[in-house]
Structure 1
């Protein structure tokens, strides 16, 4: 039942929050930690109870964290909590072909030893990363966490407020939506989206295999969609397998032995015998970009701003770039005595991130369209392209640095520097 008196108490208690963040997945906590450690008072709202979010059950999900993203996690104190569970990605091998026929003789091989900074990235399982974020937030006195569903938001003089389903009203100078591709924060602000469906579904699982992977990530392009084999700790790998939607639904409905039978010809025998480790799940693949990353006293981060094909494993990395950029813009504005939710401050964030994310989204879209087909002319062109890049060390090193997240106008946290 709505209690106006209780609402007033909540407003009084939370009026001093500088930033409200809606969404407690990964980007939201990362932003909260970056801001709180720079002196901002942050409230994180998530619809899911913390006990559920802290559940460490293994569901097969894992993330490819670029080297620049690892630097950000180190800077906000999360990396030391997960480093023992992180698997370095030392090499990346990109091939093209058909299931059961093996790859084309033309390939692309990225070796981390060609750059000075170290491994290009790390694989970290969701069951380790998510609890590490939650624990770090629990220990930070500058962060308040609330379990609740936002049902309304309103811009007011000098602040923005949100109303939760239980009637609580919270206010701050700035509201940040980290609430995914179907962002309620964006839709309540009237921000529309542009995008399209790929007619593909991502099948995700983890496997155990007989032979060691040696820290090598594989991307095998096939006509229905790419198969990524990404190294986890031990003799295990994370699988992200794109298939046409109808076929994916049929495969996902198979019992475990038949699911593996469908995977094996695509996977090949280079890691020996394989078996499932943990649950498997699926999700539709699409491109969706918010027409604006900002509104009055509001900013969007991560999938709330941009959702793209997982072909290059850049989803979380792009979100963490948003985190680094927004945290830097907000903290610098606060140090100058500016209103952190002012339009010119938000415009700085949008200018910094919009072009980069649009370019990345279009690149992943083009790659998917180029490789997810069986056109013989396109096959010849892309295979020759892979071989050409592989044969030219300067061009190959450029691609390696791109994969490591070391190119472009990087926020300080992604360069390994404090804000």
Structure 2
């Protein structure tokens, strides 16, 4: 008599769910929705209360979602909820200069009309995206949420993984996924080391009102202390991510609103007219943090738990979404083949798919930051000439646009807008 397939044996084991996800920020709920759409049962655990996570003032950030990231949210049924709050990014302008002196005459201009697929991406505020994801999760029966109850220990064996919660409860599944940020406890408990360094830079983040329309154009202005990103939001508003040395950022953030704006104005310029604060101000220390492995025994890492990069290209969340799409794709196919979704051969496919891309993004953002965040005369000349060359070459320019839109490489089904 033939032995039953492994998946049949595993179904008889005492699993509360197929997969446990640790971390309920953005990547965790998005991954839960993707996995549930592939027929998996999921337990989503977060250390914070749900009310705190859904609070519109909880985070203060906005996100530049690549076109392919928007496709994933549409495939998961979330996009309709946030579409009216999403500002298309039609153009990107990149320039170099000093505060108060204006940009260099050499700059790069990327126009969405140079690709056929549509806008390169969308700006979406956290206060719209986060609640939309959490509300969508609540509607899916295959997803169980546990809030305000952190994972404090995890154990793995040949057939499954057990997560021990602060409440004393234990949960068992076939796979544990860490979506718990750069300081990932999931990674630490799995023995996954990290490589990285501090940039001695801090991002000052806020939203601004301005008197003139932005026309859907995103601006990246490189200055010696760090880049200033001006990203279009709905109406006459923009999000700024303003990188300064850590000491300068600390001093600027300690100012009152009027003085804060007075320091910002020479850097921001007058092209959008009068500016005023549209909400609270936030600061985020900047560093690079890369997990040496994306997987361990019955453990996988996604998003910032796997890779935390400089926001210079606005690709942090998009990289996490690519992780989500790849892992969901791998698990969906493994399930169809009757494989154990937590087994090493399955997880190695995910690592192989994402490792090079994540490492390349980390190196690219690190290199760009080091190249542009200085006032070296020789480097300034090299980068200005480089921007001029790129701007004059349509083929190269189009490649950069497709990269920004997330359209390059081996795309998982969800990033193509296709169901699993």
Deviation, structure 1 residue 157: 3.7
CA deviations on 1:34-77 (whole Å, 9 max, x unpaired) are 11011100000001111111112375410000001101111111
1:399 match: 400
CA deviations on 1:382-410 (whole Å, 9 max, x unpaired) are 00111110111111000000010100111
CA distance in 1, matches of 2:14, 2:179: 19
Deviation, structure 1 residue 185: 0.2
2:66 match: 66
CA contact (8 A) 2:224 2:372 kept: yes
CA distance in 2, matches of 1:320, 1:261: 37
CA distance in 1, matches of 2:204, 2:336: 46
CA deviations on 1:16-36 (whole Å, 9 max, x unpaired) are 400000000111111100110
1:13-412 → structure 2 map (5 Å cutoff): 15-57=15-57, 60-147=60-147, 148-412=149-413
CA deviations on 1:348-399 (whole Å, 9 max, x unpaired) are 0000000010001100000000000111111011001111101111110000
Between 1:108-117 and 1:154-163, the stretch displaced more is 154-163
- C-alpha spacing 1:204/1:261, structure 2 compared with 1 (3 Å): same
CA contact (8 A) 1:14 1:171 kept: yes
CA deviations on 1:71-116 (whole Å, 9 max, x unpaired) are 1111111111100000000000000000000000000000001100
CA distance in 2, matches of 1:407, 1:257: 43
How many matched pairs? 408
CA distance in 2, matches of 1:139, 1:60: 25
Deviation, structure 1 residue 14: 7.7
CA distance in 1, matches of 2:125, 2:379: 35
CA distance in 2, matches of 1:292, 1:27: 18
Deviation, structure 1 residue 13: 12
Residue 106 of structure 1 aligns to a residue whose secondary structure is strand
1:4 match: none
CA distance in 2, matches of 1:351, 1:309: 23
Deviation, structure 1 residue 416: 1.4
CA distance in 1, matches of 2:251, 2:115: 42
Unaligned stretches of 5+ in structure 2?
1-11
Deviation, structure 1 residue 156: 2.8
CA distance in 2, matches of 1:58, 1:360: 28
CA contact (8 A) 1:59 1:279 kept: no
Between 1:332-341 and 1:151-160, the stretch displaced more is 151-160
CA contact (8 A) 2:16 2:171 kept: no
Between 1:148-157 and 1:65-74, the stretch displaced more is 148-157
CA contact (8 A) 1:58 1:278 kept: no
TM-score, normalised to structure 2, is: 0.96
TM-score, normalised to structure 1, is: 0.96
CA contact (8 A) 1:191 1:292 kept: yes
- C-alpha spacing 1:281/1:14, structure 2 compared with 1 (3 Å): farther
Q: Quote the RMSD (CA, aligned, Å).
A: 1.2
CA deviations on 1:206-239 (whole Å, 9 max, x unpaired) are 0000101000000000000000000000000000
CA contact (8 A) 2:52 2:58 kept: no
CA contact (8 A) 2:196 2:289 kept: yes
Unaligned stretches of 5+ in structure 1?
1-11
CA distance in 2, matches of 1:319, 1:331: 18
CA contact (8 A) 1:59 1:278 kept: no
CA contact (8 A) 1:59 1:280 kept: no
Deviation, structure 1 residue 418: 1.5
CA distance in 1, matches of 2:68, 2:359: 19
